[in-house]
Structure 1
Amino acid sequence: MTKGIHLDDYHKGVSQWLLSNIHWLKSVECYPESGGAIDVPCGLFAISGWQPADHHPGNGQLSLTLHCEILIAFSVEYSTHQLDVRNAAMALSIEVDNNSFDIPGVKPARLIGASPDALHPELDDYAVWSVQFVQSVTVGKSEFEPEEYRAGIRLAVDPVDVDNSSEYNPLEVSNASAN
């Protein structure tokens, strides 16, 4: 049984992974909310849409294929800015493909492609490439999951079967037995 993810958590997880693992990025921001000058090189991450996934859990949750995009913005002050941003897009493409971004319950991402971006006039002062990918996630709460399992944090110490919910206890019970 998979716990559904909230899109805010997914967005935060991808953004944090990018900042932690793509060391040449100075910042990762949301777009199109970004306005004004940005600290480059910068990644601008967005979920641009979704559609139903091929597999549905049948438990009240919804499996979706998210359409995602990371814009990479570089300064144009260097003569090699077009080559630099293109190489960065290639490097990011390699990192994105087959990546779950350390987010529990999401399927590995599949790269769709990368290309120069000219669709965002607010970024005309930068060299920008777009890396697009799709990723399957499950959203919502299972109708069959016990209410006490949905609420609160559960903990297992050295579980034999990490997928066996009976090996996990509410955090309050685990804390009480540790005292």
Structure 2
Amino acid sequence: MSDGIHLTDYHNAVIDWITQNVDWLQAVQYYPEIQTELPAPCAFFGVEDWEMSESQPMNGMLAVDLNCKLMVVFGVIDPAYQLEVRNAAMALCIKLQDQRFGLPIEPVVLQGAEPDDFQPELDDYAVWSIRFMQTIEVGEDFYKPEGIIPTTVMVGYSPDIGTKNEDKYEQVVPSGLNTDN
């Protein structure tokens, strides 16, 4: 058990994952706030909105379904830019499907991709939007254990118990078990 994901941490994890796993993108940024010419191809990531998830964790945290959008942006100089931006969007869909971005969250569920003509600041570029949903938990876990959490559990059976009989104990939970997942 752990505390929930903060939206800033989620944004950073997605941006970092895309930057590390999609080497043909020249830049990956948050929401498009264009002030200079873009280094295309590039991508913009944003959480559009969220809804309460149907399944709740019952531990004081709130599960929300994030509706996300990744915009892939290409320049229009190359005569094949329309084909290139579509191929890029498809390649990103393949990489994104079932991705967790290194976080203890539900995997990405792709919803679709289409040309994006609704960003006036990107009118000089070819833009496709990839829409996906991802469920995360936010807030604090009321039942999060305090103090040191054991990573190995051993059991002894009477009368062979105590420090003199530790070599007779049986391990019931493996060493190094990650209790956060």
TM-score between both structures, scaled by the size of structure 1: 0.82
Distance 2:32 2:130 in 1: 16
What is the deviation of 1:161?
A: 2.3
CA 1:164 to 1:99, structure 2 compared with 1: closer, same or farther past 3 Å?
closer
Residue 160 of structure 1, CA deviation:
4.1
Quick check: which has more Rg, 1 or 2? 2
The answer to whether residue 135 in structure 2 is matched with residue 136 in structure 1 is yes
- 2:122 aligns to what? 123
Counterpart of 1:119 in 2: which secondary structure?
coil
Give the deviation of 1:156 after TM superposition: 6.3
How many residue pairs end up in the alignment? 160
Letter in 2 for 1:79: P
Q: Structure 1 residues 155, 76: closer, same or farther in 2, change over 3 A?
A: farther
Unaligned segments of structure 1, at least 5 residues: 166-179
Aligned to 1:168: none
Unaligned runs of 5+ in 2: 153-173
Residue in 1 that maps onto 2:171: none
Alignment partner of 1:75 is 2:75: yes
In 2: Cα distance, 1:48 partner to 1:147 partner:
35
1:35 Cα deviation (Å)?
A: 3.2
Equivalent position of 1:177 in the other structure: none
Matched residue, 1:172: none
Q: Which residue of 2 aligns with 1:58?
A: 58
Which residue of structure 1 lines up, in the alignment, with residue 23 of structure 2?
A: 23
Supply the distance in 2 between the matched residues of 1:160 and 1:7 (Cα, whole angstroms).
Answer: 29
Distance 2:2 2:145 in 1: 13
Which SS does the other structure have where 2:141 is aligned? coil
Q: Which amino acid aligns with 1:82?
A: Q
Who is 2:13 aligned against?
13
Secondary structure of 2:105's aligned partner = coil
Shift of 1:34: 3.9
Residues 77-101 of structure 1 show CA distances to partners (whole Å, capped at 9, x for unaligned) of 1000110000000000111111111
Which residue identity does 2:53 align to in structure 1? A
RMSD: 2.3
Q: Distance in 2 between matches of 1:30 and 1:74?
A: 16
Question: Residue 38 of structure 2 aligns to which amino acid in structure 1?
Answer: I
Query: What is the CA–CA distance in structure 1 between the aligned matches of 2:98 and 2:38, rounded to whole Å?
Result: 29
**Secondary structure at the counterpart of residue 159 of structure 1:** coil
CA distance in 1, matches of 2:121, 2:43: 14
For residues 32-91 of structure 1, the C-alpha deviation after alignment (integer angstroms, 9 at most, x for no partner) is: 434332211111000000001121111110001000000000011100011000000000
Alignment partners' CA distance in 1, 2:151 and 2:118: 48
TM-score of the superposition, structure 2-length normalised?
Answer: 0.81
